[in-house]
Structure formats: structure tokens, C-alpha cells
Chain A
Amino acid sequence: MSTTTELLKGAAELFPDEVVTEAHVRHLDLPAGAGRFALITLDNGLDHTKPTTFGPQSLANLNVAIDQVEKESAAGEIVGVGITGKPFIFAVGADLKGVEILKEHSDALAIGKGGHDVFKRLHGLSVPTFAYYNGAAMGGGVEVGLHCTYRTVSKALPAFSLPEVFLGLVPGWGGCVLLPNLIGADRAVSVIIENSLNQNRQLKGKQVYELGIADALFDGADFLSQSLVWTASVLNGDITVERPELDRGEGWDAAVARGRAIADSKVHGAAPAAYRALDIIDAARDGDRQQGFDAEDTALADLIMGGELRAGLYAFNLVQKRAKRPAGAPSKDLARPVSKVGVVGAGLMASQLALLFLRRLEVPVVLTDIDQERIDKGVGYVHAEIDKLLGKGRINQDKANRLKALVTGVLDKAEGFADADFVIEAVFEEMSVKQQVFAEVEAVAPAHAILATNTSSLSVSEMASKLQHPERVVGFHFFNPVAVLPLLEIVRGEQTDDASLATAFGVAKKLKKTAVLVKDAPAFVVNRILTRFMGEIQNVIDEGTPVPVAEKAVEPLGLPMSPLVLLELVGPAIGLHVSETLNRAFPDRFTVSPNLKAVVEAGKRGFYVYDSGKPELDPEVAALLKQGDSVLTEEQVRDRVLDAVAQEIGLMLDEGVVAEAQDIDLCLITGAGWPFHLGGVTPYLDRAGVSERVNGKPFLAPGLASVPA
């Protein structure tokens, strides 16, 4: 084992800041006279808010623990070995900070091999080994258990996953090889590929058991003691664990094919991790562990040295860390309490906002509009949505009663807003209308009330300019669907004061939104970039490139949907409106497409028809298109589009629209669903050389979303 020790020692030297996990060995007498047992507890000595991870020193500690139990089992002193975690946590896998710092392929290879070398010893002991998944288990935490002979899982376990593919890795400490050989390729594909690519979906304890990953399921109340009672029964022969016969032929093929289809639909070949994982799963059907482990090591090292993973880790840190501490937000001590909310307008957007405020803030929410009918419709929408939540069991009857009682609608703003602390408008997107609304609200609302606007493209400063107290106006720009997309662009107008802004951030946090502070600039962040992006696609189509070529050109980015499908979702009329707004602001860069105008004027809702089940260019739209004769290749289209995006982001940063490029990426990930493996977009633009070509420099410092120099 000296080579493993040396390997891990070398790796540990590269990572002096590791939060080290100890592997405590404690002996106990199993019930029913089943014998002496060694139980390993993985514990980093911190509470459950700091989950246990595996860095190189942690692996070395586990290795030492296994040295001990190996000796004891060889000497016949123990009848089995178990492994479990500290309260609420089993282990959540590799310490990602230790991955980020790796610069050399050989170092990355050592991490993979080090984990394998330690974990696989659990399989090689002369006594059976048991993993007791007592709490959160992810990645290498799941994998250490897969190397054991048996597993139990707690019903109270809240999160279990192999999230590697989500981040841009493969399960590289045995997961790709052992899981399909335990539960079959199809179920393994669900865990390794499907769950990962569905926003890193987590399994609960019961599902872990039902999938066959664990052999027994016990309540949280006495999980470990009952697991040990079960262990005694297994060792005494009173319980025999049955495992299903696996289909290693066609079923395995079908599972891998299903995995590829999932990967294609999610990342369109643009991120390598899922495909590398599927290759290993495919090959693992022969049950040759070592060959599989070697393949995992290679894939892991390749991916660690690749840009997609670095972008993925960067994106992960953005949404996990930066999103919780918005750059530029004033001290939260300045925030005022919000105990009543007013919503101007009772249309669909306003009603969705009312529902969101109601559910998250649980304070009175009052809607106003120009006639009673609209108000009744708005309140009716909220009530119906509450009933849907009740029907799905998401809330109980008491909560439904409470929420319904909190939402009201009145015609008279003075009556509705006299004691409101926060009033948001969602009326027609027209400056004079919005100014009028705010003037009316200011006349009746308390002096401290925040006036928020959900405008997507109008100037917040201008909207506030005619008020007596413009300092309390903020932009509060949500993304559709409001309940799904996390992003909230909080816009500071020229006169907005810190207290109002702090209150807005406080509300955003209660709404569980990812708030990003944005300067009052045309279309703010997401819409500006998307419009520039779409505008350039539209330009090349107008100039003569066939629609399918333009669409296919950006497929390698792995965006959630193609540009024209996105346009359909947004609505061509709204898309046109935003492009006109931006065209007025920046006529040299934002064009208004005559073809788009024609499509809107023809009353078309989109470019495609779906009669065949697949999107096909609507013949009526095709007839409307007037194209030039400049036909570009996919690559040429891609270059033009990316150049445009890089230029626009560069200008936005120069203008100070957001604090840093990281905020642009955070907006694109949480507001437009741009993928993790792009890191939003700036890591990709840097990696592909676009930033250098367009702006003469990368957006991000080396190592931030790339392999450190």
C-alpha cells in the first residue's frame, strides 16, 4: 500500500487547505451474538452545515483505517466492517476546491487513482463490508458505499446523487462501473446521467432502496442501530440479500442509448462528461472492475484538465456562493420591513407576482386595476393557483385558507395602498403609463413605501423622475415563468437610495430569488444579451443564410432551446418590441429585422409548425421571408454571433451595467438557463478565443473558470 500512501501524500501537499475528514474505527459487539465488528465513522469534526468531504488527506486517513480493519479481519478478530457518517451527513464526495487547484494531468490522474486504490480495498477484505447511508451522500460518498458488500439507507436521507456529470465530471471513484453492475445499466443511467442533467436532481432514502442501491431501508429515528441489527442477521445467515439478474445484452445497449438521447437533448454534444460516463457504463457490462476503474481515472483526469469542468465549477460557485452575496448590494441592516404588498395591475404577470409575494412573504397582498372585472379575474387566478397547490398536497387546508385570506383586490388605490410597504407595478410597458401609475401610487402610499417596477426595458430613472420621492423607486425585473426562473434583476435608478435598494434585496431574498444588482441601462442584462444574440441570428438569416443553418450554428453551445424556439416562447411581438427599444438606444449594434416585423405583422406566433412532431419552418413564414444572397456556413454564423455577444458584454462591463463578468454569467445561468458547462458564457468566450479576438483580452482572470496556469 506504500504506493497509495505516496500518491495521496503528494496530492495532499498540493492542497494544504483541505478540510480533513477523519476515519474513526470503533469496535462493537453485534446483537444476537453475531460477533465483533469494526465500524468506521467518517467525520470532519464540524457540524452538519459543513458536510464531510474527501480530499487527499481524508482518503489517506480512510486508508489507514482500512489498514487496521484489514489486519483485524485477517487475524479473525472481527466478523465484518461497516462505514457510516456523522449525524445527518454520510459524505458528499470529493472536495471540489481540491479539484479546482489541479494544474497537471498527472495530478488529476492521481486523485482518481488515489480514491480507487483506497475504496476498492473495502471490496478486497476477507470479511463482508457494510455501508450505512445515514444522511446526505453524494459523489465519492455514494461511491465509497458502492465498494462495500452491502448497503442500508435511512428513510430520513434527504439527498443522494452522483452529481459529477452535472458538474462536468464522471463518477470517477467506481460509480460508473459499480452502479450499473449493482442495479443494471438502465437505473444507473437514470442516476448518473438523467438526474444529473435535470438540475442535479436528488434521490431520497426510499428511492435509493427502491432502485436497489441499498439492500435495506430503516427509519431515521434508530437507523444505525437497526442497520447493525440487520447486519447481525445477514452475518448469522438469517437474512439473505437477493440481487436481481442483470440484462447485460440488449437491455444494457438500450440503457446506454437512452443515456445518449438524454445527453443529446440536454447538452447537444456540447459537454463531454455525460458521453464519457456513458462510454464507461457501456464497457462496464463485462464486470471487469479494474479495467473500468482505469477508464474512470483517465476520463476524470481528461475532464479535470478540460474547460467544461472548470466552467461548470465556476458556474456552481456562482449559484452557490455569489448568488447568496449579491455584488454591490447595500448593507442589509438598512432594509425596512415589508408587511404589506401592493400590486398595480391584475393581469397575468401581476397575478403571478401577487402569488409569488403571497407564498414567500405571507403578508397581505392587494391588487388594483382599472375595473372590478379585471381585479376579480386576478384574485381568482391567485385563488385557483392556491387550490392547485392544495390539490397537489404542497400546502394544507389551513395554509390555503391563510393565503386566500391574505390576497384581496380593490379598485381604489388609496384604500389598497395606504399602509403598503412595497408596491410593484406590472402595467403596460409604456413610459407615460408607468409614470402616471407611480404618481397615483405616491399620492396614497406611505412615505417609506418602495415603488418597484417590473419593466423589462424602460428606464427606471426616467420613470422615477417626476415623483416627489424618486429615491424609493427600484427596478424589479423578473423572468418568465416567474415561479421557475430564479433570476431577479434589481435595477438601481439614478436617485435610488441605499435603504430602498437594501429593502429590495431583502424582499428578493425572501422571494428566494437570485438577485443581481444592475445599473439602469437599456434592457438591463439578460434581455440585452439575448437580443443582441438573436439579432445577429436574425441578421444572418435576413442576409441570406438558410434558417436551419443559422439555427444549427449555435447548437454546440448546448443552449436550452434554439434561438427561434426561444423567440416563439418569448413571443415575436415582444422580441420585436425589445429590439426596437435597444435599436433606439444603440442603433449601430441593434437592428430591427424587417423579416421579424413582417412575421409579427402577419400575426404569426412563431417561425415553426409542429405538425410532424418536429419543428419545421412554417410555409407561411417562409413565404414572408425576404433574404439576401449572402450565405454563411455554420462556423461563420457562429463566429459572428459569438463576436457580437462578446462585444456587447465587453461594452456592458465598460458601462458598469454590472459589477463584474461573473454577474453577467450568473444572470445568463439563472435567467436564461444557459448551461453550466459554458459557465454562463464568458468562460466559453475566453476558452474559444472570442474574447481575445473581439476585446483584446479575456473576461476572466486565468484559473477562475479555467485550468490554472
Chain B
Amino acid sequence: MPRTVRDVVFVDGVRTPFGKAGPKGIYHETRADDLVVNAIRELLRRNPDLDPAKIDEVAIAATTQIGDQGLTIGRTAGILAGLPQSVPGYSIDRMCAGALTAVTTTAGSIAFGAYDAVIAGGVEHMGRHPMGEAVDPNPRFVSEKLVDESALFMGMTAENLHDRYPSITKQRADEYAVRSQEKAAKAYADGKIQQDLVPVSIRRTTPEGGETGWGLATEDEPMRPGTTLESLAGLKTPFRTHGRVTAGNAAGLNDGATASIIASEDFARENGLPVRMRLVSYSFAGVEPEVMGYGPIPATEKALAQAGLSISDIGLFEINEAFAVQVLAFLEHYGIADDDARVNQYGGAIAYGHPLASSGVRLMTQLARQFEEQPHVRYGLTTMCVGFGMGATVIWENPHWEGK
């Protein structure tokens, strides 16, 4: 049977506001599946031209797939969101790149012709499911020295990355973090972020986090506008004495969910759906687990090579800020300035938070908004590092590109 690969597009993306994990966090009493259900339903409300019965798949990522993130959350969230029972769903795990992988995996299937339109997203409730919950690493990792013990502790891998790039000092990392907060605050002030957030009702029954009763989450809880170098300078380096990685130059522990509509371009156009980004290429790469923050570099190399592009063709970057050092390593590798205007224009995870498996779609949603505003840009890139030594990169084309 002859086959034609089909173009795949990003139609729309939304997310819940992100919260701080823990008993005082806004989502402490909110279930993870309810977060992702809220995101899916907002997508459907925003895209009334998409007949829910035509959705071919619901792919939802979570790193810790137990409890309210278990039970094949892609399927259960679809039912809970009110999708027809005929719409299937499944779960995805690639730790931090979960939602990104949900997008690429379903996109591959769309290109192949298996699907026309899907919902892809992710969720992580790190308050209900702390990193490392119920993990059981094989003892051979250590006994056979397959990986360094630090590989399981992301903060330690970030310190290791500082070692690999001695020029990336704590000062540079802190400066980057301050800029991320500033850019995020400006993006909020300009209304760039709120338009893609779904308000979530939140309940609190114990007073330690504040007023009790029902409330409404309408903005990201982790943001720290007004952060200064001075305020960051004094923070502890919990992963290494006299280290460089602090709570201020890394993303926090967060709760949140994202969801996107991915479709074949033909389907989107036939059904009157917006075409916000066109998929060019995607790639994943493995690196030594103990310097997992290096991962985006080889992943991007592969993705660029597939697309026949060079780094200079990329006009906008959305790099997940698990750690400032990991972004800076990427920029240093490609010879891009720390404060290059093309990079993370709205700020990043250091400000908004990083609920692991949900973050990939946040990057895409923000890149899509930047594409709309900047039709002179043709290509953009979303990339992130992944636990246990991986990187993930997706290259997108701007459908609004107005030519040279």
C-alpha cells in the first residue's frame, strides 16, 4: 500500500496554573487526574469545531504512574473529561519529557496515517507523588558502576554539568535565573501567559496554607517577581557544599498539567482548526545519566540534521529550565549569548515551575504564541533535558512566516 507522510501541526495548547508542591501549595488537595481533566476540557471549549468523537487518541504523560496518576491516566482522564467512550487513551513516561513525547509519539502516528487528531499532554503532582516515590533501582546500576550514584539526584547531575562547563559559574546561573523571573513577570504583565491558562477550583481544608474553603487558581504560584542577584546569592547549595545549584537557579517542585491538540494539517484545515505550528523534526538522545542536563545538545544535533537545518536557522528557542546551568550549557555549546533575545522570551521553568511530565507542552504553547507575534521567524525549537541521561528536541515551523 503506498503511503504519504502527512504534515503534523500543533493546533492549540493549554495548561493549569502551576502550583508549589507540598502542604501549603494550591493543589495540595486537588487530584492529579482532575488537573489534566481541567486542561483537556478547556481545550475542547476553546476549539468547538473539533468534534470530540473525531479525537483518535488521548496520550497523557506522568512520571510517577501510581495512584491518581496511574490507571492508564490517558484513558481515565478522557472518560472523566467527558470524551466519548469511543476515544481511546494511554499513558506515556519519559520523565520530564513526558508531554513532549506524548506529542511526538502521536505526531509520528498522525504522519503515518494512524490518527487524524489527538490530545497529548502531561501531568505531575509532585506534592502527591514526590520524585523517587516507590522507585526500585536495580542494584546492578551501582554494583557494576553502570551509572554514578549521583545520576538519580537531578540536582547533583546539575552540579556535574557545572563541572563539565567550568566557565558557567554560579554568578552566571544566578544572573540567568533573575532574567527568567523578570521575563516571566513581564510576560504576565503583557497578558501573554494567562490566555493559555485554565482556571482550576481548589479546595483547602486545613488553615496552614491560608484561608480554607474553595478557591480558584488563576495564576502560577511559584513565580518570584522582584528576585535579585543579592537575594539569590545567599541561598544554600543543597546538592554539594560550596556548590552552584540552588533553589533560586533551578525549577522547583511543582504540580500542574498541560494538554494540546495535535492533528494532521489536512484535518486541521478541513475542520477549521487553527494551525499554530508545523512539526519539522524531533529527536531524542542519550547521554551519561550523571550529566543528564547535557542531553538537549545531542538531541538538537540530531533534530537539526534530520531537518537539514543549522542552529542559525532557529529564530526562537523554548528551553526547559530545569536548571540554569543546563540552559547555559546549551547556549555555550552553540555560541549563543546568555541573554540572547531569541531564547525563552517569556522566561521559563525557573519562574513558572516544572511539574515534570507536563512541561513539554508548556514550551510548545509559549512558542506558538511567539510564532504568532513574530511572523519574521520561520523556525523555532523546543528542547528539554530528561532524567537518566536524555535530551529531547522538537523543531517547529511557523505557519505565519511571511517569507524573507
CB distance from B28 to the nearest CB of A (A): 14
CB of A228 closer than 8 Å to a CB of B: yes
Contacts of B219 in A (CB 8 A): 29
Contacts of B205 in A (CB 8 A): 43, 45
Beyond A31-B218, A221-B81, is A26–B37 a contact (Cβ under 8 Å)? no
Q: Are A228's CB and B80's CB within 8 A?
A: no
Interface residues of A in 218-242 (CB under 8 A from B): 219, 221-225, 228-229
A302 to B318, CA, bound (A): 71
A228 to B82, CA, bound (A): 20
With a 10 A CB-CB cut-off, give which of A26, A30, A225 has the most chain B CB atoms.
A225
Q: Are A26's CB and B212's CB within 8 A?
A: yes
A522-539 CB mask vs B (1 if < 8 Å, else 0) is 000000000000000000
Q: Are A24's CB and B80's CB within 8 A?
A: no
A571 to B83, CA, bound (A): 53
CB distance from A27 to the nearest CB of B (A): 6
Contacts of B38 in A (CB 8 A): 221-222, 225
CB of B70 closer than 8 Å to a CB of A: no
Interface residues of B in 175-231 (CB under 8 A from A): 198-201, 203-205, 210-216, 218-219
Contacts of A222 in B (CB 8 A): 37-38, 41, 200-201
Q: Are A41's CB and B201's CB within 8 A?
A: no
- Smallest CB-CB separation from A219: which chain B residue? B82
Beyond A31-B199, A87-B203, A228-B199, is A221–B213 a contact (Cβ under 8 Å)? no
A223 to B34, CA, bound (A): 12
CB of A25 closer than 8 Å to a CB of B: yes
A228 to B215, CA, bound (A): 10
A518 to B345, CA, bound (A): 80
CB of A40 closer than 8 Å to a CB of B: yes
Q: Are B200's CB and A221's CB within 8 A?
A: no
CB of A84 closer than 8 Å to a CB of B: yes
A221 to B210, CA, bound (A): 25
A39 to B202, CA, bound (A): 12
Contacts of B212 in A (CB 8 A): 24, 26, 41
Q: Are A228's CB and B41's CB within 8 A?
A: no
A222 to B198, CA, bound (A): 10
With a 10 A CB-CB cut-off, give which of B38, B204, B212, B216 has the most chain A CB atoms.
B216
- Smallest CB-CB separation from A228: which chain B residue? B216
Contacts of B198 in A (CB 8 A): 225
Q: Are B200's CB and A225's CB within 8 A?
A: yes
- Smallest CB-CB separation from B212: which chain A residue? A24
Beyond A28-B216, A31-B218, is A229–B204 a contact (Cβ under 8 Å)? no
With a 10 A CB-CB cut-off, give which of A84, A222, A229 has the most chain B CB atoms.
A222
Q: Are B211's CB and A24's CB within 8 A?
A: yes
Contacts of A225 in B (CB 8 A): 38, 198-201, 216
Contacts of B211 in A (CB 8 A): 24-27
- Smallest CB-CB separation from A43: which chain B residue? B213
Contacts of B203 in A (CB 8 A): 41, 87
A25 to B204, CA, bound (A): 11
A28 to B199, CA, bound (A): 11
Contacts of A40 in B (CB 8 A): 213
Beyond A26-B204, A29-B218, A221-B82, is A39–B199 a contact (Cβ under 8 Å)? no
CB distance from A620 to the nearest CB of B (A): 61
Contacts of B201 in A (CB 8 A): 222-225, 228
A222 to B82, CA, bound (A): 11
Q: Are A84's CB and B41's CB within 8 A?
A: no
Q: Are B41's CB and A221's CB within 8 A?
A: yes
Interface residues of A in 40-60 (CB under 8 A from B): 40-41, 43, 45
Q: Are A39's CB and B215's CB within 8 A?
A: yes
- Smallest CB-CB separation from B198: which chain A residue? A225
Q: Are A29's CB and B213's CB within 8 A?
A: no
CB distance from A25 to the nearest CB of B (A): 7
Contacts of B200 in A (CB 8 A): 222, 225
A41 to B80, CA, bound (A): 24
Q: Are B213's CB and A41's CB within 8 A?
A: yes
Contact of B214 among A45, A221, A224, A229 (CB under 8 A): A224
Q: Are B41's CB and A26's CB within 8 A?
A: no
Q: Are B199's CB and A229's CB within 8 A?
A: yes
Q: Are B199's CB and A24's CB within 8 A?
A: no
A31-B216, A41-B213, A225-B38 given; 12 more Cβ-contact pairs under 8 Å: A26-B211, A27-B215, A28-B215, A28-B216, A28-B218, A39-B214, A87-B203, A219-B41, A222-B37, A222-B201, A228-B199, A229-B199
A-B contacts, 23 listed (Cβ < 8 Å): A24-B213, A25-B211, A26-B210, A26-B212, A26-B214, A26-B215, A27-B215, A28-B215, A29-B218, A30-B218, A39-B213, A39-B214, A39-B216, A41-B203, A43-B213, A84-B214, A219-B41, A221-B41, A221-B81, A222-B38, A222-B201, A225-B216, A229-B199
**Which positions in A face B, CB cutoff 8 Å?**
24-31, 39-41, 43, 45, 84, 87, 219, 221-225, 228-229
